[in-house]
Amino acid sequence: MARPALDRTRLTPAVQGYHRRGFPARLIATRLGISERSTRGLLKALGLTAPRPQSRQIMEIRHG
């Protein structure tokens, strides 16, 4: 049997269910016995993470 962290097919429904109920990634990872990094990667692959805000670029104004 494959390691749980590598078995995305079986973990996907559980991760989606916990996410739907508002569980944070750290708690999902603990409940499923996988790493927090694997959990965050799976959430990202499923499109369940909010996009990070882009850093503001300072616009340079040239006078001349």
Do 19 and 32 form a contact (C-beta atoms < 8 A)?
A: no
If we measure between CA atoms, which residue out of 49, 51, 41 comes closest to residue 11?
41
Mean pLDDT of all residues belonging to the chain: 83
CB atoms under 10 Å from CB of 49, counted, come to: 13
pLDDT of residue 6: 61
Report residue 52's pLDDT band, with 50, 70 and 90 as the boundaries: confident
Burial class (CB in 10 A: 0-12, 13-18, 19+), 28: buried
pLDDT of residue 62: 64
Answer whether residue 58 shows pLDDT above 60: no
Do 29 and 4 form a contact (C-beta atoms < 8 A)?
A: no
**Over the stretch 15-26, which tens digit does the pLDDT of each residue have?**
999 999 999 999
- Mean pLDDT computed over 25-53: 91
